[in-house]
Amino acid sequence: METIVRLEGLHADADSTDIEEFFKGFNVSDIQIVRGERGEAFIVFGSDNHAREAIKKTGSWIKNKRILLTLSNKTEMLCAFEVYRKKVVQTLEAAKQQSRKRKVDMLLAQPGSLYVYLSGISQETKEAGIIDFFKSLAVEQIIFCKGRDGSKTGNGFVKFTNVVHANEALKFNKCLLDKQCLSVISASEEQWVNAGGTLEKTSKIREGFTNVIASMHQQQFYIYLLNLPPKVKKSDIRDLLEDPQLEDFNISLLTSSSKGEGFVMFKNESQYQAALLAHGKHLHDYRISILPISKKVMLDIAVSYTISSLPKDMSTVPCPQRCVHMKNLSRGVTKQHIQEFFDGFPIEEYDIFLKYDKSGYFSGEALVRFPTEKVSVCAARLNKEWFMGTEVLLNNITEDQIKAFIGDASHEPTFAKH
């Protein structure tokens, strides 16, 4: 007969592996970590005797933190999960509402922020070059500033069709255009008019609201699946969530995990909310826990899982696919931007390789090298993430493909060896 023990006071850094080690020698059949304010976890023992013996360890330490153990039951465990789930949902909803309010306040405070000021423009740069530089954004009009003699001063203004794109343009500051470092800062409506620009009669505030709503549709939402059955398939996840339109690349399963874990990404908030309602449903006689999760926490879990499953002696492990090929990148992307995209992964600037064509223009492709193949595979789960106005495409590549990629790029040094 299975018996459940409740653990309180679990250290924030402790995981199921630490709990398994703590109860080594006992018949532990399942571990469910809730955390919450009390640092809770529930341990399912295969027999009542083992559970009662385990409780005698109450007051002991896990990762330098004293724990409390008490007998529990399935109802209490499910109730704890439900309380935690509701609290996370409330926190997430409050954060989303606050984010929306900030965007609305920004629009009301700066209804004319459709403009940016450029400095450092090359004399050879044409309007087409500016448009191509901001290729992922909707440029409406460009003004090149000129001196008394009619020559270009190297400065200019760009007007965008909406506030969201004007704000995105600021991320292109310090990027190269025609081999010169371009400064991109916000400009006012008055500066635009003084430079000879014209104004539209349409309401910029209304236009701003419309585009904020559009940008919200580009947000991504994630759920964390727990207690998945062995050998679970992605088709099983679609059936569980009753979402036949869910594509394989939106589902990530930690297939080697003894805890049965996975993640699902949604770009539609209604699908995301519907998926949360599947919490507690059964899949192949396993009761599935579904929790909302942030992108950062998801990556932390995935990277931690990947690294913990690596062999101790990495020197003997071949890593033929430890690079990720990135495509469809925005024109203004830099190595620092790519580091931000892979926030949480152990990469440095010398691990990033940008591809340029023979004319010296960025091709929209990059190569990122990770410490191991497994970490690289984990990073590739970010395929089709929205980044700097484009949907970035990722895939793992072989050593031969890496050599071919580097061989085609004539304007970037090869990877530093280390």
Partners of residue 221 on adjacent β-strands: 266
Fold of the domain spanning 315-408 = Alpha-Beta Plaits (3.30.70)
Under 8 Å CB-to-CB from 37, ≥6 apart: which residues? none
Question: Residue holding tokens 């530093």?
Answer: 416
**Residue whose tokens read 């990722």:** 394
Q: For the structural domain made of 218-293, what CATH number should be given?
A: 3.30.70.330
- Give, as one character, the DSSP assignment of residue 220: -
Whose tokens are 């990947």? That residue is: 306
The closest of 91, 88, 90, 85 to 289, measured between CA atoms, is: 85
Four-residue CA torsion sign, 128, 132, 133, 138: positive
Neighbouring C-alpha atoms within 13 Å toward the C-beta of 16: 21
pLDDT at residue 355, rounded to an integer: 79
CATH code of domain 3-77? 3.30.70.330
Written in H, E and C, the secondary structure of 25-92 is CCCEEEEEEEECCCCEEEEEECCHHHHHHHHCCCCCEECCEECEEEEECHHHHHHHHHHHHHHHHHHH
Quick one: tokens of 267?
């770009």
Of the CA atoms within 13 Å of residue 395, those in its CB half-sphere come to 7
Q: Are 278 and 236 in contact (CB under 8 A)?
A: no
- Residue 389 main-chain phi, psi, to 5 deg: 90, 0
User: Can you give the pTM of this predicted structure?
Assistant: 0.33
Strand partners, 72: 4
Q: Which long-range contacts (CB under 8 A, 24 or more apart) does 279-285 make?
A: 279/81, 279/82, 279/85, 280/78, 280/82, 281/240, 283/228, 283/229, 283/232, 283/236, 283/239, 283/240, 284/229, 284/232, 284/236, 285/229
What amino acid is encoded at 374 in this protein? K
The Cα–Cα gap between 318 and 334 comes to 30
Q: What is the pLDDT of residue 409?
A: 41
d(CA 70, CA 58): 8
Whole-angstrom distance, CA of residue 164 vs CA of residue 197: 20
Per residue of the chain (418 residues), give pLDDT as tens: 789 999 999 988 888 889 999 999 999 988 888 877 788 999 999 999 999 999 999 999 999 899 999 999 988 888 888 787 777 777 767 766 665 555 555 444 444 578 999 999 998 899 999 998 987 788 999 999 988 888 888 999 999 988 888 888 888 988 888 888 888 998 888 888 888 888 764 444 444 444 444 444 456 788 988 888 888 889 999 999 988 888 887 888 875 555 678 889 887 788 888 888 888 889 888 888 888 887 766 766 665 565 555 444 433 334 456 788 888 887 778 888 888 888 777 787 777 888 776 666 677 888 888 877 777 877 888 888 877 777 888 888 876 676 666 554 433 433 333 3
DSSP state of 413: P
Neighbours of 289 (CB within 10 A): 22
The DSSP secondary structure of 136-179, one letter per residue, reads TS-EEEEEEEE-TTS-EEEEEEEEESSHHHHHHHGGGTTEEETT
Structure tokens at 248: 């394989």
pLDDT of residue 317: 39
Q: Give the pLDDT score at 209.
A: 44
What span, in angstroms and rounded, lies between the C-alpha atoms of 153 and 180? 14
Residue 182, judged by CB atoms within 10 A of its CB (0-12, 13-18, 19+), counts as: buried
Candidates 264, 231, 232, 268; CA nearest to 247 is: 264
Given the candidates 3.30.70.330, 1.20.1250.20, 1.10.579.10, 3.40.640.10, the CATH classification of the domain at 115-215 is 3.30.70.330
List residues bridging with 29 in a β-sheet. none
Q: Where are the domains of the chain?
A: 3-77, 115-215, 218-293, 315-408
Helix, strand or coil for residue 196? coil
Same fold, 3-77 and 218-293: yes
Residue 94, burial from CB neighbour count under 10 angstroms (0-12, 13-18, 19+): exposed
Q: What b/e readout covers 102-123, taking b as 16+ CB neighbours within 10 angstroms?
A: ebeeebeebbbbbbbbbebbee
Residue type, position 349, single letter: E
Distance separating alpha carbons of residues 117 and 159, to the nearest angstrom: 9
List the beta bridge partners of residue 185: 117
How many CA atoms, within 13 angstroms, populate the side-chain half-sphere of residue 365?
Answer: 15
Q: Where are the beta strands (DSSP E) in 217-280?
A: 221-226, 251-254, 261-266
Per-residue pLDDT, 358 = 60
369 has which bridge partners?
A: 323
